[in-house]
Amino acid sequence: MLSQLEAAAVLPARDLKRAKSFYKDKLGLEPAEERDGELRYRTPAGAAVLMYETENAGTAKNTALLWVTPDVRAEVDRLREAGVVFEEYDQPGLKTENGIATTGEERAAWFKDSEGNILCVAQDG
């Protein structure tokens, strides 16, 4: 049964070398494993992210990967210092102020990686 198996997020990259540099230099992430044509990342809690090279990178219009943080403002500030640019939204149901949206008890901020994938840091109440 799938409920007994490990799952992994999958992110596309047009240029795997460029993506690896972005994830290391801007996000502070090192691949746990490198294979021909793919990178595998692991979080301290065991979540897995597989990145592979494809021309389809950056075509999704949805959030591809989300990190939960106890302090979204501090995380946004740290990422900005590393050169990450946050998206600004002003649409029905979603408006950001200085890159952060507040909806009920949740606060979230979105940015794009070097490959155009939409990533998010979020804080629950």
Percent of the chain predicted with pLDDT > 70: 99
Report pTM.
Answer: 0.92
Mean pLDDT of the residues in the chain: 94
Query: Could you count the other beta carbons within 10 Å of the beta carbon of residue 122?
Result: 19
Average pLDDT, integer, range 29-35: 95
Close Cβ partners of 101 (under 8 Å, ≥ 6 residues apart): 89, 94, 95, 107, 108, 109
Q: Could you say which of 3.10.180.10, 3.30.1280.10, 3.30.420.10, 3.30.365.10 is the CATH number of the domain covering 2-123?
A: 3.10.180.10
pLDDT in tens, 62-117: 999 999 999 999 999 999 999 999 999 999 989 999 999 998 889 999 999 999 99
Of 28, 74, 19, which is closest to residue 52 (Cα–Cα)? 19
Domain regions of the chain by residue span: 2-123
State the amino acid at position 118 in one-letter form: I
Locate tokens 């950056």: which residue?
58
* pLDDT for 125 beyond 80: no
Whether the CB-CB separation of 51 and 38 falls below 8 Å is answered with yes
Query: Could you count the other beta carbons within 10 Å of the beta carbon of residue 89?
Result: 13
